[in-house]
Chain A
Amino acid sequence: MKLLTHNMLSCHIKGVQNGFPFKIEPVKVEQIDADYDPDFLRHIYPRLEWKALCEAAATMGAPGLPEEVTEEMLQDDDFLRSFHHALLELVLEEGSLVCPETGRQFPVHKGVPNLLLNEDEN
């Protein structure tokens, strides 16, 4: 699971108000090479919760993303490359996602998060 997917997940247990973002508890992180596409990054940026991405990247061993992003930065190659790396090249292979409100853990195994709920959580 890439951090772009992490940025799109939230806890959906019935009654949970603040189920985003999942805290990542990494056990195994892999790095992959993804195609670098500045247009894609600029397109996807408004859809992201930036703070969640920064925190997730730091947890996965890639700290240093700036807290704020400006229009100029979205034209800056150095920034875009670090953004690209955090978003698309860090993969959580094993570990868990922890709901920020309830502490419920969702396991990630072989890169696949399991978001299914138990019957009493629906």
Chain B
Amino acid sequence: MLREHIADVRLTHADRDVYDPSDDSFALVDALVKAAEGWHDTPPRICVEVGSGSGYITCSVALLLQHLGVTAHCIATDINPAALRATEQTLHAHNVASRVDLVRSDLLLGLRQRLHGAVDLLVFNPPYVPTPDEEVLRTGIAQAWAGGYRGRVIIDRFLPLVGDLLSPQGQLFLVTVAENDPEEIISIMQQHGLLGRIVLRRKADEEHLSIIWPIWDFVGENQRGQGATHLTGLANEGQHFHMCAPFLGR
């Protein structure tokens, strides 16, 4: 059972300046566990988590890859130094510290140029809570949740990067809540050639969580006559996403 090979909350480092794993983190890891069923056949080689916080999610990815015997390069970023220390501690407590490199950065600044078209697995549990816009600029733990108007300020900075970063087999996992308007996020992704899908919906306390897991819109690309790009001929590789279809609409 892949489910047994994720991070242990009890071994996840707690720090008053870092967001503890919560329902949103658990929902994201549940979606990743499901996706990991396909990793043996299509191994993600470059995995990136933006805003790793406590490290619970990145650590779960590293453990799943290790269990599946998949060699991958994992990078986790955070803007908050306390979060990076927590991620390091969490990885260390699970004996996977050497499997993830940490970078202090704002989203993916300093990485996005060279990661162009290279990221096979991109994971982001953004600060999605609607707040006054000025709260987004606060430092410390507020950066983990303060999302500004509709909770979209950071998400909207991130979305334009996605299409550039993902490899032809690349997968993104993005946490959203109802206030973020997931349907609108999906339509923005579509402008970047990605077919957004909600793979997991869950009600937790006052939050309606959705995990968005888009795929490249190969059919749309071809129909628009843009198929002669790097995506041509990869439609078959895209097929394996559809094998995960039973997961849709859960």
Which A residues lie at the B interface, using CB under 8 A? 1-2, 4-5, 7-12, 19-20, 32-35, 37, 39-40, 43-44, 47, 49, 88, 91, 106, 110-117
Contacts and interface: CB of A to CB of B under 8 A. Distances in A.
Interface in B53-76: 71-73, 75
Interface of B: 45-46, 71-73, 75, 79, 84, 88, 98, 101-106, 109-115, 118
A8 B114 contact: yes
Contacts, number: 75
B138 to A, nearest CB: 16
A37 B71 contact: yes
B110 A9 contact: yes
B114 A9 contact: yes
A5 to B, nearest CB: 4
A34 B103 contact: no
B118 A47 contact: yes
A8 to B, nearest CB: 4
A29 B118 CA distance: 27
B71 A35 contact: yes
A10 B110 contact: yes
A1 B102 CA distance: 7
Contact of B105 (A4, A47, A115): A115
16 contacts: A1-B101, A1-B102, A2-B73, A5-B73, A5-B75, A8-B75, A8-B111, A11-B110, A12-B109, A12-B113, A49-B114, A112-B102, A113-B103, A115-B103, A116-B104, A116-B105
Given A111-B102, A113-B104, A116-B104, A10 B113 contact: yes
A77 B13 CA distance: 40
B172 to A, nearest CB: 18
A8 B105 CA distance: 13
Max count, chain B CB within 10 A of own CB: residue among A5, A34, A49: A5
Contacts of B110: 9-12, 106, 115
Contacts of A47: 46, 118
